[in-house]
Amino acid sequence: MDRSPTPLDAATSARLRRQPRSDTKPEAALRRELHRRGLRFRLNHPGLPGRPDIVFTRAKVAVFVDGCFWHRCPEHSTVPRNNRDWWQAKFDRNTARDRAKDAELAALGWRVLHVWEHEATGAAADRVEAAWRHRVKSRSAGSHRDRTSHPGSGNG
Ligand SMILES: [Zn+2]
- What distance in angstroms lies between residue 118's CA and the mean position of ligand 1's atoms? 5
Per DSSP, the chain holds a count of helices (H) and strands (E) of 3, 4
- What distance in angstroms lies between residue 30's CA and the mean position of ligand 1's atoms? 15
In degrees and rounded to multiples of 5, residue 32 shows phi and psi of -60, -45
Class of domain 22-122 as given by CATH: alpha beta
| pTM of the model as a whole | 0.74
- What distance in angstroms lies between residue 69's CA and the mean position of ligand 1's atoms? 8
Per-residue pLDDT of the chain (156 residues; tens, 9 = 90+): 445 555 566 666 666 655 554 446 899 999 999 999 999 999 878 789 999 999 999 999 999 999 999 999 999 988 999 999 999 999 999 999 999 999 999 999 999 999 999 999 999 999 999 999 999 988 776 555 444 444 444 444
Question: What are the structural domain ranges in the chain?
Answer: 22-122
pLDDT score of 87: 95
In degrees and rounded to multiples of 5, residue 136 shows phi and psi of -60, -45
